[in-house]
Amino acid sequence: MNTIKFEDLPISDDIKKAISDMGFEEPSPIQAQSIPVVLSGKDVIGQAQTGTGKTAAFSIPILETINPEDKSLQAVVLCPTRELAIQVSKEIRKISKYMHGIKTLPIYGGQPIDRQIKSLKGGVQIVIGTPGRVIDHINRKTLKMDNVKMVVLDEADEMLDMGFREDIETIISRTPEDRQTVFFSATMPKGILELTKAYQKNPEHIKVVRKELTVPNIKQYYIETRSANKLEVLCRLIDVYNPKLSVVFCNTKRGSDELVSELQARGYFADALHGDLKQTQRDIVMDKFRGGTIDILVATDVAARGIDVDDVEAVFNYDLPQDEEYYVHRIGRTGRAGREGISFSFVFGKEMRKMKDIERYTKTKLIKHGIPSIADVEEKKVSAFFKEVKSTMEQGKLTKQMQWLETFCQEEDYSTVDVAAALLKLALGEELKEEIVEEKPRQRREARSKDGSTGAQEGMARLFINVGRNQRVQAKDILGAIAGEVGIPGKLIGTIDIYDKYTFVEVPKQNAKKVLEKMKDIKIKGNKINIEKANNKRR
Ligand SMILES: Nc1ncnc2c1ncn2[C@@H]1O[C@H](COP(=O)(O)OP(=O)(O)OP(=O)(O)O)[C@@H](O)[C@H]1O
Ligand SMILES: [Mg+2]
């Protein structure tokens, strides 16, 4: 149990007052353990689960360390994404609310650099930035690192990973030798931990993780569903659980755009966040999500780390993440600061193996969840609707409506139940959807045919198409190409499943050989694809 109070920590009254305004009553374990050590000036690697207050754990010591009289740059916090830089900067501003003479500035790409230069000229002591833009300012000499006392890497493992490492090295090399270097993250893979040696002196590794890497207050489910059914399953889960806010993760920008269009077409308030959008659009989407104008954020991994939005009650892995660490960060967008959360990961076939890797890495077990039935969804919708009806009745003032109803019933000779039932149908619509029947991959394997193709329909052969990662080719293009090359009409080709980079296509058995011969290493819309016989090893 954590018995340390904020009063026991060596922090100034101004900060104590501010964090009390923020609703922090007691320090979280990572705050209790790391604040004194960071304040002592030591280098620190702080690891604690998602949503447990790592931001304040480094922000409070930064604010205690810098000298408000000195207007030079004294602390630099580096974050992997623009949204995170903005968020951390806001948190530091909140904590320094009662302090005088402190200036902080988020600097990130996609924002006009002139405006940033102007603000920097005013004397900024704490910069919170993304590496690229920080380097840009260093090169322009608009950011002077000579007086930097402290460098913090938030999401340190990501920052030291390949994508950012070089930039981080450049930035750190510009700071004084005797600076303090502080790393925080919920995950710290061994390989990355090795790298920290290059930047830190005798670091203290403060690790507040339990057995599991994920927080216990997130209920983690997995659902077996093939790609074709994912959208419907997602909608049903959202209808049944009715989360205040949800984040849905896709592995590609294009996938998230497509999903947003489909959700919007079904009447959901959803929008996308990914790296292809302009910064102004990214800001608008985040503001809408924080404000509740949209309640579903469909995002790539750009939103996986650090983002803190209070009412996110559910996270969906619409596509399973490529890295195990990312699973931890993604689902960590819910269940923050001790709140409850729920997560659903969609898996199918070969992805079960990836899921097992995730379970091993996080030391947690994902619980199997069935696909909600139409009846489940209806029950939920009807009960929610009746709740509204009840509250309308309780508010009263229905005299006029009652008169209309009585007149109508008398004139047409209907009972009020007849009318109420018709009104219900009008309000809720008639459910015409069919139940989803998920074929089990195992059953398909049993149906394996002699030619090595898996589970194809009678008379059809299933072929495996390797599309390669990040290639922009669609099922219909592949079907079209086969029809063009081999001369079999598209309609003869059966079902098609997209497993992010893997696609299966069914062709009539007598045409299978021809397709395989003619379509080896061909290009479709500039994308190299490869059609092979499907076999069990692939799954
Ligand atoms: N001592 C505290 N008491 C109550 N709430 C707190 C406390 N410290 C932080 N919080 C709140 O908890 C939430 C999560 O904090 P924060 O974003 O710092 O988590 P994190 O550990 O950095 O998570 P992640 O690994 O996802 O980045 C924030 O809304 C923050 O305001
Ligand atoms: Mg964080």
Structural domain for 441, as ranges? 437-533
What's residue 211's pLDDT? 83
Residues 368, 381 within the same domain? no
Would residue 212 count as lying in a domain? Answer: no
Residues 350, 394 within the same domain? no
Of 250, 281, 229, which is closest to residue 83 (Cα–Cα)?
281
Element (H, E) at 54: helix 54-65
Alpha-carbon radius of gyration of the chain:
28
Pocket-testing residue among 7, 16, 52, 60, ligand 1, by greatest number of atoms within 8 A of Cβ:
52
Mean pLDDT of the chain: 88
- In the reported structure, the alpha carbon of residue 55 is separated from the centroid of ligand 2 by a whole-number distance in angstroms of 5
Helix, coil or strand: residue 260: helix
Protein residue closest via CA to atom 16 of ligand 1: 53
- In the reported structure, the alpha carbon of residue 186 is separated from the centroid of ligand 2 by a whole-number distance in angstroms of 8
Would residue 213 count as lying in a domain? Answer: no
Residues 131, 10 within the same domain? yes
Would residue 539 count as lying in a domain? Answer: no
Residues 463, 425 within the same domain? no
Gap between the Cα atoms of 324 and 332, Å rounded? 13
C-alpha dihedral, 353 to 359 to 365 to 369, nearest 10°: -40
ipTM of the complex: 0.99
Residues 192, 63 within the same domain? yes
CATH number of the domain at 523, please: 3.30.70.330
Q: Which atom of ligand 1 is nearest to the CA of 24?
A: 3
Encoded tokens for 511: 């045409």
Encoded tokens for 317: 């892995």
Would residue 462 count as lying in a domain? Answer: yes
Gap between the Cα atoms of 95 and 78, Å rounded? 18
Q: Give the end of a domain, one of 154, 177, 207.
A: 207
Q: Which atom of ligand 1 is nearest to the CA of 155?
A: 27
Residues 443, 518 within the same domain? yes
Of 256, 313, 305, which is closest to residue 285 (Cα–Cα)?
256
User: Which residues, at least 6 apart from 197, have a Cβ–Cβ distance to it below 8 Å?
Assistant: none
Neighbours of 332 (CB within 10 A): 28
Total of domains in the chain: 4
CA atoms within 13 A on the CB side of 219: 9
Helix, coil or strand: residue 206: strand
Q: State whether the beta carbon of 332 lies less than 6 angstroms from ligand 1.
A: yes
Q: State whether the beta carbon of 313 lies less than 6 angstroms from ligand 1.
A: no
- In the reported structure, the alpha carbon of residue 51 is separated from the centroid of ligand 2 by a whole-number distance in angstroms of 7
What's residue 441's pLDDT? 56
CA atoms within 13 A on the CB side of 259: 33
Three-state SS string over 273-284 comes to ECCCCCHHHHHH
Longest dimension (CA), the chain: 91
Q: How does strand 44-48 pair with strand 204-208? A: parallel
CATH number of the domain at 345, please: 3.40.50.300
Exposed/middle/buried for 1, CB within 10 Å: 0-12, 13-18, 19+? Answer: exposed
Residues 133, 276 within the same domain? no
- In the reported structure, the alpha carbon of residue 114 is separated from the centroid of ligand 2 by a whole-number distance in angstroms of 28
Q: State whether the beta carbon of 137 lies less than 6 angstroms from ligand 1.
A: no
Residues 282, 181 within the same domain? no
Instruction: Answer whether 301's CB lies under 8 Å from 326's CB.
Output: yes
Percent of the chain with pLDDT over 90: 74
User: Which residues, at least 6 apart from 396, have a Cβ–Cβ distance to it below 8 Å?
Assistant: none
Instruction: Answer whether 481's CB lies under 8 Å from 524's CB.
Output: yes
Encoded tokens for 350: 């070969």
Of 437, 295, 440, which is closest to residue 374 (Cα–Cα)?
437
- In the reported structure, the alpha carbon of residue 187 is separated from the centroid of ligand 2 by a whole-number distance in angstroms of 11
Q: State whether the beta carbon of 90 lies less than 6 angstroms from ligand 1.
A: no
Residues 425, 447 within the same domain? no
Residues 134, 159 within the same domain? yes
Instruction: Answer whether 236's CB lies under 8 Å from 380's CB.
Output: no
- In the reported structure, the alpha carbon of residue 54 is separated from the centroid of ligand 1 by a whole-number distance in angstroms of 6
Residues of the chain with pLDDT under 50: 443-455, 469-470, 492, 494-502, 535-539
End-to-end CA distance of the chain: 45
Q: Which atom of ligand 1 is nearest to the CA of 56?
A: 18
Residues 182, 275 within the same domain? no
Gap between the Cα atoms of 358 and 448, Å rounded? 29
Would residue 355 count as lying in a domain? Answer: yes
- In the reported structure, the alpha carbon of residue 327 is separated from the centroid of ligand 1 by a whole-number distance in angstroms of 19
Helix residue ranges, H only, 252-373: 253-265, 279-291, 324-331, 351-362
Gap between the Cα atoms of 24 and 53, Å rounded? 10
Q: Which atom of ligand 1 is nearest to the CA of 25?
A: 3
User: Which residues, at least 6 apart from 21, have a Cβ–Cβ distance to it below 8 Å?
Assistant: 94, 97
Rounded to whole angstroms, what are the CA distances from 387 to 243, 377, 499?
Answer: 17, 15, 40
Gap between the Cα atoms of 217 and 209, Å rounded? 14
Of 34, 146, 133, which is closest to residue 79 (Cα–Cα)?
133
Instruction: Answer whether 534's CB lies under 8 Å from 454's CB.
Output: yes
Residues 74, 198 within the same domain? yes
Neighbours of 477 (CB within 10 A): 14
